Amino acid sequence: MEVDGETQIEELECDIRTLRKQLKAKVQQLKTLKKHFQKNCINKLNNNEIARYSRQIILSEIGVQGQLKLKRSSVLVVGAGGLGCPSALYLAGAGIGRIGILDYDEVELTNLHRQLLHTECSVGLTKVESVRSYLEELNSQIEIVTHHIQLSSDNALQTLESYDIVVDATDNVATRYLLNDACVLLKKPLVSGSALQLEGQLTVYNFNGGPCYRCLFPNPPPPETVTNCGDGGVLGAITGVIGALQALETIKIILGNSGVLSGRLLLFDGHQSTFRNLKLRPKKADCAVCSDNPSLTQLIDYEQFCSMKATDKDSHLNLLAPHERITVQEYKSLAESNVPHLLVDVRGANQFEICQLPTSINVPIDDILKNRRTTEVTQLAATGGPVFVVCRRGNDSQLAVRHLSVLFQEQGLAPPRDIVGGLHAWTHNIDPEFPIY
Ligand X SMILES: Nc1ncnc2c1ncn2[C@@H]1O[C@H](COP(=O)(O)OP(=O)(O)OP(=O)(O)O)[C@@H](O)[C@H]1O
Using CB under 5 A, list all residues that contact Zn ion: 212, 214-215, 287, 290
- 64-81 residues labelled b (16+ CB within 10 A) or e (exposed): eebbbbbbebbbbbbbbb
First to last CA, the chain: 31
CB of 288 to Zn ion, least distance (A): 7
CB of 147 to ligand X, least distance (A): 8
CA 245, CA 277: separation in Å to the nearest integer?
13
Q: Which does 238 bind (CB under 5 to 8 A by kind): ligand X, Zn ion, none?
A: none
Strand arrangement of the beta sheet that strand 417-419 belongs to: 325-326, 417-419, 387-390, 342-345, 361-362
Is 183 annotated as catalytic? no
CB of 76 to ligand X, least distance (A): 11
Q: Is 31 annotated as a binding residue?
A: no
Q: Which residue type is seen at 415?
A: P
Q: Are the C-beta atoms of residues 168 and 179 closer than 8 Å to each other? A: yes
Q: Which does 68 bind (CB under 5 to 8 A by kind): Zn ion, ligand X, none?
A: none
CB of 111 to ligand X, least distance (A): 5
Q: Which does 215 bind (CB under 5 to 8 A by kind): Zn ion, ligand X, none?
A: Zn ion
Is 391 annotated as catalytic? yes
Q: Which is nearer to Zn ion, 184 or 310 (CB)?
A: 184
Q: Which does 79 bind (CB under 5 to 8 A by kind): ligand X, Zn ion, none?
A: ligand X
Selecting among 85, 183, 306, 391, the annotated active-site residue is 391
Q: Which is nearer to Zn ion, 214 or 393 (CB)?
A: 214
Q: Is 212 annotated as a binding residue?
A: yes
Q: Which is nearer to ligand X, 235 or 401 (CB)?
A: 235
Q: Which is nearer to Zn ion, 97 or 211 (CB)?
A: 211
Q: Which is nearer to ligand X, 105 or 330 (CB)?
A: 105
Q: Is 124 annotated as a binding residue?
A: no
Using CB under 6 A, list all residues that contact ligand X: 79-82, 102-105, 110-111, 115, 127, 150-151, 170-172, 175, 228-230, 310-312
Selecting among 85, 229, 306, 355, the annotated active-site residue is 229
CB of 278 to Zn ion, least distance (A): 17
Q: Is 355 annotated as a binding residue?
A: no
Q: Which does 212 bind (CB under 5 to 8 A by kind): ligand X, Zn ion, none?
A: Zn ion
Sign of torsion over alpha carbons 434, 384, 325, 346: positive
Q: Is 17 annotated as a binding residue?
A: no
Q: Cα-flanking dihedrals φ and ψ of residue 78, to 5°?
A: -95, 115
* Cα–Cα separations (whole angstroms), residue 191 to 73, 74, 108, 194, 287: 15, 14, 26, 10, 19
Q: Is 112 annotated as a binding residue?
A: yes
Q: Which is nearer to ligand X, 194 or 203 (CB)?
A: 194
Task: State which residue has the least CB distance to ligand X.
Answer: 81
Q: Which does 290 bind (CB under 5 to 8 A by kind): ligand X, Zn ion, none?
A: Zn ion
CB of 381 to ligand X, least distance (A): 34
CA 249, CA 193: separation in Å to the nearest integer?
11
CB of 228 to ligand X, least distance (A): 5
Q: Which does 214 bind (CB under 5 to 8 A by kind): ligand X, Zn ion, none?
A: Zn ion
84-94 vs 236-255: helix crossing angle, rounded to 10: 40
CA 104, CA 127: separation in Å to the nearest integer?
8
Q: Is 105 annotated as a binding residue?
A: no
Q: Are the C-beta atoms of residues 75 and 51 closer than 8 Å to each other? A: no
Q: Is 269 annotated as a binding residue?
A: no
CA 188, CA 184: separation in Å to the nearest integer?
6
Q: Which is nearer to Zn ion, 184 or 245 (CB)?
A: 184
CA proximity to 224, closest of 399, 397, 383, 103? 399
Q: Is 367 annotated as a binding residue?
A: no
Computed on alpha carbons and rounded to an integer, the radius of gyration of the chain in Å comes to 26
Q: Which residue type is seen at 34?
A: K
Annotated binding site, which residues?
A: 82, 103, 110-114, 127, 171-172, 212, 215, 287, 290
Residues that constitute the known binding site for ATP: 82, 103, 110-114, 127, 171-172
Please state the residue numbers annotated as binding site for Zn(2+): 212, 215, 287, 290
Q: Which residues are catalytic?
A: 229, 391
